[in-house]
């Protein structure tokens, strides 16, 4: 069995990690015989990019019921119409989900509990990177932090009991996949000692103590994925892999992912050139999702997957300072999301 991510130790420089992921790893298609027959899956952000490609591939592998969780239902329906044509035996539903609003997330989770007979797989694919500094008016948090970390933490937690209680008979544990990034293991994390931690991602930019620029935007995206990995690890220590296997995956630097959609000017042209030279295809990126939710088993519970195997976390997570930050992040996240009853849900999932 592969060692878990927390049992490994980071040894590669950021460049060597990038090289290993983009060039040193051969894309691995789903093994022959892979099937999602009789299973139900939710994919957030599935009206474009890797999420859309993953939806298509899972339907090709006989997925019985797909819920496309999207912010724009009209756009989602246009995609779903094409998917239904190619997969007439499957049920393809489009449900509204706005990850920037807690009420929308709660309503979506309640609908899952109320209307779904089965739920086997949740792929938390929705995310993004903001080149401009934006604060979520509802929560007061910077939007990348809100979207990539806090909102996914809420939705993931709310869907845990649904996965546990509505998984298909005989299908094994439910599967919950957070989409992470290799950048999450190389972030600077300069505010690791901040207490409280969550406000330190927004307040310095609001007050003018720090300036938001392209470098800050890149670091913020990286940091949100560090937080995702911390959350995955902590949550996995409280949830049994016999009920739900929780892990995160790095899909790779990918053409057509839409991650840099708001980039403009010379940088947009530079990124286009770089992606043309080194980025992987949407097909290959979606293979990493399928590997994570089907090929991998309990050995990946609480792990970060890259290069189709368990990969070390951020180096700080192996230090006393990083361990303290992980615990502080967990407590602050539970406090932030307490209105939705997350503590009670986690308590009910304990093994």
Q: What are the DSSP E strand ranges found in the chain? A: 40-44, 65-70, 91-96, 121-124, 174-179, 244-249, 303-306, 309-311
Distance from C-alpha of 94 to C-alpha of 104, rounded to nearest angstrom: 14
For 81, the enclosing helix (H) or strand (E) is: helix 73-86
Question: Of 102, 149, 164, 225, which is the active-site residue?
Answer: 225
Q: Are 153 and 101 in contact (CB under 8 A)?
A: no
26 a catalytic residue: no
- Dihedral angle sign, alpha carbons of residues 253, 258, 262, 264: positive
Q: Is 166 a catalytic residue?
A: no
* Catalytic-role residue among 102, 149, 221, 308: 221
Closest by CA to 128, choosing from 147, 101, 151, is 147
Cis check: omega of the bond before 201, within 30 degrees of 0: no
- Provide the angle, in degrees to the nearest 10, between the axes of the packed helices 151-166 and 214-236: 30
Catalytic residues, by residue number, are 221, 225
């Amino acid at each position: 069995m592969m060692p878990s991510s927390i049992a490994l130790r980071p040894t590669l420089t950021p460049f060597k990690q990038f090289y290993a992921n983009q060039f040193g790893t051969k894309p691995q298609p789903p093994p022959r015989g892979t099937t999602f027959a009789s299973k139900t899956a939710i994919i957030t952000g599935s009206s474009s990019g890797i999420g859309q490609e993953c939806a298509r591939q899972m339907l090709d592998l006989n997925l019985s019921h797909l819920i496309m969780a999207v912010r724009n239902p009209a756009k989602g329906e246009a995609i779903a119409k094409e998917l239904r044509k190619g997969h007439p035996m499957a049920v393809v539903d489009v449900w509204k989900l706005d990850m920037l609003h807690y009420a929308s997330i709660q309503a979506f989770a309640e609908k899952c509990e109320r209307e779904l007979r089965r739920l086997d797989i949740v792929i938390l694919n929705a995310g993004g990177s903001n080149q401009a500094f934006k604060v979520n008016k509802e929560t007061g948090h910077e939007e990348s932090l809100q979207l990539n970390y806090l909102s996914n933490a809420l939705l993931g937690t709310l869907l845990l009991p649904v996965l546990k209680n509505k998984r298909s008979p005989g299908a094994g544990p439910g599967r919950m996949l957070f989409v992470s990034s290799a950048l999450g293991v190389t972030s600077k994390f300069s505010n690791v000692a901040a207490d409280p931690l969550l406000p330190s991602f927004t307040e310095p930019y609001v007050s003018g103590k720090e300036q938001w620029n392209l470098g800050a935007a890149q670091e913020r995206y990286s940091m949100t994925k560090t937080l995702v990995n911390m959350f995955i690890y902590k949550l996995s220590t409280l949830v049994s892999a016999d009920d739900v296997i929780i892990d995160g995956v790095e899909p790779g630097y990918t053409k057509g992912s839409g991650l840099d959609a708001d980039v403009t000017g010379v940088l947009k042209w530079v990124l286009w050139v770089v992606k043309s030279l080194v980025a992987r295809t949407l097909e290959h990126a979606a293979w990493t999702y399928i590997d994570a939710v089907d090929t991998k088993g309990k050995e990946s519970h609480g792990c970060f997957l890259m290069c189709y195997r368990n990969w070390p976390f951020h180096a700080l997570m192996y230090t006393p300072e990083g361990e303290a930050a992980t615990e502080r992040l967990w407590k602050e996240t539970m406090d932030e999301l307490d209105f939705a009853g997350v503590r009670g849900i986690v308590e009910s999932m304990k093994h």
